[in-house]
Amino acid sequence: MVHTRSALQPLLLSALMALSACGTQSANGAALESRARSLGIAPAMVYVTDVPDYSVALQSVGVIGDHGFGVSYSGPEGGTIELRVDERVFSGPVGCAEDAGAAGTGQATCEQEGNHWYRATSTSHSYVLEDAGSVIRLSADPGTVSRDVLRQAAEHVHRASAEEATRVLPSEDRDGQGQPERGDLPANGDGAPRDPAGLFAGTSG
């Protein structure tokens, strides 16, 4: 019996630790869901990606359309990758028809790469894909972000974990207003907000 008790003690301790961790994860998930909703973002639409030497521009985090999600990643040499997640607006397969008008102006080329679609014009290029009923688009200026780098961003995009969402979403009490600091306002004067790539022009509105 002594040996049985000594063997059971580590198992019980492990079980208690697992339950405690589960409770913490549940609490963190609830807090992050509240944080996303406070910004008008559907929690299921918070996606992130991973590209070496690129980091999240926190001021760029915002809602797309009614409840989509948008964020920009800044590169070491000034390049920017814009990640947008929004609901579907077409019933057919995701592809060039759904991405029309979303990647700049001028004559466009479009081709499929596995589960991704690549679209390019002289001023912008993008990868678009579908996941869990949402359309995910990664766009950039081809002069500052190469196709290889943009493809890597598309290949690594995924729904944010609780830890990743914590790093991306601003806290609810940021600036005391529960909203992120605007990153699209001009530095001087009373000009209109900057929106060079249509980051805040969602498709669900």
* pLDDT on residue 97: 63
Tokens 């509105």 belong to: 205
C-alpha to C-alpha distances, 180 to 65, 103, 198, nearest whole angstrom: 16, 26, 18
Q: Are 66 and 85 in contact (CB under 8 A)?
A: no
* pLDDT on residue 183: 44
Q: Are 69 and 164 in contact (CB under 8 A)?
A: no
> Which pTM value belongs to this model?
0.69
Show Cβ contacts of residue 169 under 8 Å, excluding neighbours closer than 6 positions: 32, 35, 36, 39, 41, 46, 61
Give dist(CA 45, CA 116) in Å, integer. 18
Q: Which residue has the higher pLDDT, 144 or 194?
A: 144
